[in-house]
Amino acid sequence: MALISVKALTRVFDASKPWLNRVIERRGKSFLTAVSDVDFEVAERSTYALVGESGSGKSTIGRMLVGLLTPTSGTVEINGVNLATETDARKIDVIRSDIQMIFQDPFASLNPRWRVGDIIVEPVVARGGDASGLAEKLLEQVGLSALDAGKFPHEFSGGQRQRICIARALSSEPKLIVCDEPTSALDVSVQAQVLNLMSDLKDNYGLTYVLISHDLTVVQHMADRIGVLYLGRLVEEASPEDLFARTKHPYTKMLLEAAPRMDGFGREAELPEGEIPDPINPPTGCAFHPRCPISTDICRTERPPMRSLNKTRVACHLAEE
Amino acid sequence: MTDMPLKPAQQSRLRIFLDSDIFYMFKKSPVAILSTIVVAILVLSAVFAPLIAPTNPFDPASLNLMNGFTGPMTPNAFTGDSFLLGTDDQGRDVFSTILYGMRVSLFVGVAAVLFAMVLGITLGLISGYVGGWTETIIMRTADVQLTFPSILVAMLIFGVAKGFTPVEYRDQMAIWVLILAIGLSDWVQFARVVRGATLVEKRKEYVEAARLIGRTPFAIMLRHILPNVLSPVLVIATISLALAIIAEATLSFLGVGAPATQPSLGTLIRIGQGFLFSGEWWILLFPAVTLLVLALSVNLLGDWLRDALNPRLR
Min CA distance, A99 vs chain B (Å)?
Answer: 8
* Cα-based distances in Å from A144 to A140, A160, B6, B94, B140: 5, 8, 16, 65, 49
- CA-based nearest residue to A289, from A301, A281, A279, A280: A301
Cβ pair A146:B1 closer than 8 A: no
Cβ pair A68:B210 closer than 8 A: no
User: What does the alpha-carbon distance between residue B253 and residue B269 come to, in Å, rounded to a whole number?
Assistant: 7
For residue B2, is pLDDT > 50? no
For residue B11, is pLDDT > 70? no
Burial class of A275 by CB neighbour count within 10 A (0 to 12, 13 to 18, 19+):
exposed
Cβ pair B228:A66 closer than 8 A: no
Min CA distance, A128 vs chain B (Å)?
Answer: 12
pLDDT of residue A257: 82
Alpha-carbon Rg for chain B, nearest whole angstrom, is 23
- In this structure, are strands A176-180 and A99-102 parallel, antiparallel, or unpaired? parallel
In a domain, B102, yes or no: yes
Cβ–Cβ contact A103 with B under 8 A: yes
- Contact predicate B212/A100, CB 8 Å: yes
Q: At what angle do helices B226-253 and B170-184 cross, to 10 degrees?
A: 130
For chain A (321 residues), the mean pLDDT of every run of 10, in chain order, is 88 86 84 91 93 88 92 91 85 88 90 92 88 91 91 90 93 92 86 91 92 88 92 92 90 83 62 76 88 88 88 87 67
Sign of the dihedral defined by the CA atoms of residues B158, B163, B165, B170, in that order:
positive
How many structural domains compose chain B? 1
pLDDT of residue A266: 60
- Contact predicate B154/B181, CB 8 Å: yes
Of the partner residues B5, B10, B205, the one whose CB lies closest to the CB of residue A109 = B205
Give contacts of B 205-234 with A, CB under 8 A: 205-206, 208-215, 219, 224, 227-228
Cβ–Cβ contact B51 with A under 8 A: no
- Contact predicate B57/B96, CB 8 Å: yes
- Give the CATH number of the domain where residue B164 resides: 1.10.3720.10
- Whole-number average pLDDT of chain B: 85
Half-sphere exposure of A82 (CA within 13 A, CB side): 13
Min CA distance, A121 vs chain B (Å)?
Answer: 9
Cβ–Cβ contact B5 with A under 8 A: yes
| Residues 6 or more apart in contact with residue B246 via CB below 8 angstroms | B291, B295
Cβ–Cβ contact A67 with B under 8 A: yes
- CA-based nearest residue to A62, from A225, A212, A265, A268: A212
pLDDT of residue A259: 75
Which amino acid does the sequence have at A104?
A: Q
Sign of the dihedral defined by the CA atoms of residues A255, A305, A177, A61, in that order:
positive
The interface predicted TM-score (ipTM) is: 0.85
* Cα-based distances in Å from A39 to A6, A34, A55, A232, B145: 5, 14, 18, 11, 52
Burial class of A138 by CB neighbour count within 10 A (0 to 12, 13 to 18, 19+):
buried
Cβ–Cβ contact A136 with B under 8 A: yes
Res. B267 pLDDT band, cuts 50 70 90: confident
Count the neighbouring beta carbons within 10 Å of the beta carbon of residue B179: 22
Lateral strand order in the sheet of A2-14 = A31-43, A2-14, A73-78
- In this structure, are strands A225-230 and A47-51 parallel, antiparallel, or unpaired? parallel
Half-sphere exposure of A81 (CA within 13 A, CB side): 18
Half-sphere exposure of A31 (CA within 13 A, CB side): 8
Supply angle C-alpha B39, B45, B51, rounded to 5: 170
User: What does the alpha-carbon distance between residue A169 and residue A149 come to, in Å, rounded to a whole number?
Assistant: 15
Is B177 strand, coil or helix? helix
Of the partner residues B206, B227, B228, the one whose CB lies closest to the CB of residue A109 = B206
User: Residue B9's closest chain A neighbor by CA?
Assistant: A150
- Contact predicate A146/A120, CB 8 Å: no
User: What does the alpha-carbon distance between residue A32 and residue A16 come to, in Å, rounded to a whole number?
Assistant: 9
Sign of the dihedral defined by the CA atoms of residues B157, B158, B162, B165, in that order:
positive
- In this structure, are strands A73-78 and A47-51 parallel, antiparallel, or unpaired? unpaired
* Residue from A59, A95, A100, A122 whose CB has the most chain B CBs within 10 Å, to mutate: A122
Of the partner residues A96, A108, A172, the one whose CB lies closest to the CB of residue B206 = A108
- Contact predicate A100/A25, CB 8 Å: no
pLDDT of residue B5: 45
- CA-based nearest residue to B106, from B172, B158, B40: B40
For residue B139, is pLDDT > 90? yes
- Contact predicate B226/B121, CB 8 Å: yes
- Contact predicate B108/B262, CB 8 Å: no
pLDDT of residue A230: 92
- Contact predicate B161/B180, CB 8 Å: yes
Chain B residues in contact with A100 by the CB 8 A cut-off are 212-213
Which amino acid does the sequence have at B152?
A: L
- Contact predicate B150/B247, CB 8 Å: yes
Instruction: Please state the rounded mean pLDDT for residues B112-127.
Output: 96
User: What does the alpha-carbon distance between residue B248 and residue B257 come to, in Å, rounded to a whole number?
Assistant: 7
Min CA distance, B217 vs chain A (Å)?
Answer: 13
Is B134 strand, coil or helix? helix
Is A204 strand, coil or helix? helix
**Which of A89-93, B126-130, B310-314 has the least mean pLDDT?**
B310-314
Burial class of B94 by CB neighbour count within 10 A (0 to 12, 13 to 18, 19+):
buried
* Residue from A69, A113, A134, A177 whose CB has the most chain B CBs within 10 Å, to mutate: A113
Cβ pair B212:A127 closer than 8 A: no
* pLDDT, tens digit (0-9, with 9 covering 90-100), for B17-74: 777 777 888 888 899 999 999 999 999 999 998 888 888 877 777 777 777 777 777 7
In a domain, B65, yes or no: no
- Contact predicate B267/B252, CB 8 Å: yes
**Full residue range of the structural domain in which residue B124 is found:** 52-58+82-313
DSSP letter at A224? S
Chain B residues in contact with A168 by the CB 8 A cut-off are 209
- Contact predicate B239/B81, CB 8 Å: no
Cβ–Cβ contact A123 with B under 8 A: yes
In a domain, B20, yes or no: no
Longest dimension (CA), chain B: 80
Cβ pair A127:B214 closer than 8 A: yes
